[in-house]
Structure 1
Amino acid sequence: MLVIQMNIFMVLLLSLVAVHAFSKLPRRTHVEHRVFLALLVLTMLMLILEIFSVVLNSPAFIGFITVHKLVDTIGFTLTPLVPIFALLFIRAKTGSCKNINRKIVLWLGVPLFINTILSIGSFHFNWIFTITNENLYLRGPLWFASPLTSYFYYAANLLLLYKARNKFQREELFMLSLLILSPGVLSVFQLYFFVYLTLWNSIAIAVVVNYILIVQSQIKIDPLTRLGNRAAYDDQLEILSRKENLVLTVVNIDMDNFKTINDTYGHQEGDKVLKIFAGHIKEVFDGKGVSIRLGGDEFIVLVNENRKEIVETYIKSLKSSIKAYNENSGMPYQIKFSYGMAIFNSSYKDVHELVRYSDKLMYQEKNKRTNQSR
């Protein structure tokens, strides 16, 4: 009864979180938000299935043996999807969802496929679980396949989190690890003692905690351009300063004659220009680095690259993109920008010195362009 009460409470809590998340989180432009919402809904579904499984596991409901089998079949089939969506969530937060190797996807899909076949087959052949004639749940001869599948994905999560540890702050690492460690540890007790524990409740708590982290991260997003803001910039520099073999190029960007556009056509038009320009920056550098609006018409991109020719192709793409927009916008003004680029190496004392030098180069170019126009 306690398990049922706790599950019902967590379903209600997750329902409130889901309503808030669907109304507040930008989903079109943020893959991690879509993945997180899928994880949230899936966790709610697993809690509901466990409620039915516990309730039906009794001779009092002997007339519902088929329903009991169906509930457990769905539950065992969906169980590995929770760590899989946690894995996708972590990848999305690292910005590497677009660069998933097909061979890796294939290997990750094999355990899920096997578990799905065994789970569905258990309905008739009692492979993973058995429902007795008294409507009681028992483990089948292949019951170990389901937990092994989940542990495989938990291990993949831990490996990914370890490799990406330098991309997160300590607080983020702790909260993301809850999605892996809490179900991983509790499932050991559940398997050993053969009882219903608060496994899905622990995952639900981890999901809620990570939603708090997501809401906090929204504070680090510029509301106008949807790029990172000054707080995100400070956090990124803190993360980068902890890296040992740092691969980084800083690109400082400043719009030319933005004040003239603001004064001539109004602040509303100026805001529109900022949003358009930020959109082009994000389109070019998405997945290649972190794009940030420092304030006003000043932007900075922290690029995960140390080859000058590669970064220059990115900037060339930005220039081409802006040029194409100017030619087709039909506006009486043109969007222009100046930039400074600096690549980290041993000659720089730290990341802050690199940023200062890049900013200096940007203003040198800006002054040069201003003198030329005069």
Structure 2
Amino acid sequence: MDFSLTSIYVANGLGAVLTAVILAGNLWRVQSRNSENVAILVLLVLTLLNCLVDPCVFTSDGLLGDLPEYVNRLGNAWLYTSNMFCAFLWLFFLTKHSCGGISRTHLNVLIALLVLGSAGIVINAFSPFIYTFDSNNVYQRLWGYWVYTVIDYGMTLDSIVLYFLCRKKSGVLKYFPIWMYLIPLMIGTAVQTMFFGLSLISASLAVSMAGVFSSLQNELIFRDRLTGLYNRVYLDFHLKAFLNLRKMAVTGMMLDMNSFKKINDNFGHSVGDDALVNMAKILQISVGNSGVAIRYAGDEFIILLNTREQSVVDSCINSLNRNLEKFNSSSKAPYKLSVSYGQGLLDLQGHTIDEFIKTLDDNMYESKKAYYATNRPADRRGFRR
């Protein structure tokens, strides 16, 4: 067997095994049915299929007969299309995970690019401009190859730009180690582009996916299982880290759901859990990429905003109120959602972390008292701290 083919079988075989193991260990993500998990799982499946298709394409290259020719043509068409969709799915996942997603206009542009790229693959079958095959069924690149390289790299670069724009807005509050995905993939892509005949993209993508899922697994420590928000472990970790960054421009808000005990008593704890999940979604939408929402304890939440400007804080509060009104007017849930909240600046030069949390709690308690001045107390705390 040719040495180059042997190396291709080994590299892609290991990539296929690696992605299959990761997939088997992450099937539970299908249950959540959110777009972020769907995107990363589809990306993983495409990576697995690429690792299987790539060796078939290289094996058939240069062989004559109907079957090798079909495999070579269909396999290359699949790989070009799949690589393009992999770049898109990575961008979609990263932006959804880090900053709640991209704008509708941006998404539509990317979808249009995918449609045009897919159409180009079909056109290439009749009028080659991306790649072609000579009389011996040997694959040859054409000028269109570089167009698809630009598309793939362009989407990846787009994801990096969007991520750092999000980081700039949210500061140190949001972080994802994108280098674990980018470095293996970029090395594999660059080497395969420079040295024709090597097959490293699919295998390097498998390594990248291992890095991504390893990071996601580590992140579970900081996630609340029910709501998907960050948890108190995340809060404690970052507040301690802030001690080394004294000049922090952070505003905190503590929120407590009004009449949550009444929801549990009247409709049961499963409905109460549903109320918590809906509140978490509302908080995430309201905060956007200006900060993070944290489930602090029970029906209490904390929002950290990467700003000290009251106008930004007021904008977040107004967005929260609008989203609560929208939910209460359109939802068929047997309950209404509202919150009492208190806010305060994070100033670690003159105050401790405990004093910061106490300030938020005291201000929230005053808001709670004002709420129950016009509403019958049905809260678990009953005006008690």
C-alpha distance after superposition, 1:219-261 (max 9, x if no partner)? 3232344433212323554788869784x54321235676799
The residue that corresponds to 1:51 in the other structure is 55
Q: Per the alignment, do residues 34 and 110 of structure 1 end up closer, same or farther by CA in structure 2, a change over 3 Å counting?
A: closer
Instruction: State yes or no: 1:279 paired with 2:277.
Output: yes
The residue that corresponds to 1:34 in the other structure is 38
The residue that corresponds to 1:159 in the other structure is 161
Q: C-alpha separation between the residues in 2 aligned to 1:328 and 1:76?
A: 46
C-alpha distance after superposition, 1:102-140 (max 9, x if no partner)? 1x3455456545543433232233312122222221222
Which secondary structure does the structure 1 equivalent of 2:222 belong to? coil
The residue that corresponds to 1:78 in the other structure is 82
1:208-287 → structure 2 map (5 Å cutoff): 208-235=210-237, 237=239, 246=249, 249-255=251-257, 269=268, 271-272=269-270, 274-287=272-285
Q: C-alpha separation between the residues in 2 aligned to 1:158 and 1:23?
A: 28
The residue that corresponds to 1:186 in the other structure is 188
Q: C-alpha separation between the residues in 2 aligned to 1:178 and 1:227?
A: 23
The residue that corresponds to 2:3 in the other structure is none
Q: C-alpha separation between the residues in 1 aligned to 2:9 and 2:120?
A: 27
Q: C-alpha separation between the residues in 2 aligned to 1:310 and 1:275?
A: 28
Q: C-alpha separation between the residues in 2 aligned to 1:318 and 1:74?
A: 43
Q: Per the alignment, do residues 280 and 187 of structure 1 end up closer, same or farther by CA in structure 2, a change over 3 Å counting?
A: closer
Instruction: State yes or no: 1:3 paired with 2:8.
Output: yes
Q: C-alpha separation between the residues in 2 aligned to 1:128 and 1:353?
A: 63
How many residue pairs get aligned? The number is: 362
Structure 1 vs Structure 2 CA RMSD: 4.1
Instruction: State yes or no: 1:313 paired with 2:315.
Output: no
Query: How far off is 1:337 after superposition?
Result: 5.4
- In the alignment, structure 2 segments of 5+ residues that lack a partner are 1-5, 378-382
Instruction: State yes or no: 1:95 paired with 2:93.
Output: no
- In the alignment, structure 1 segments of 5+ residues that lack a partner are none
Q: C-alpha separation between the residues in 1 aligned to 2:164 and 2:370?
A: 46
Which secondary structure does the structure 2 equivalent of 1:7 belong to? helix
Relative to the length of structure 1, the TM-score reads 0.78
Relative to the length of structure 2, the TM-score reads 0.76
The answer to which structure, 1 or 2, has the higher relative contact order (CA under 8 A, 6+ apart) is 2
The residue that corresponds to 2:136 in the other structure is 134
Q: C-alpha separation between the residues in 1 aligned to 2:19 and 2:186?
A: 21
Contact 1:225 / 1:274 at 8 angstroms: preserved in 2? Answer: no
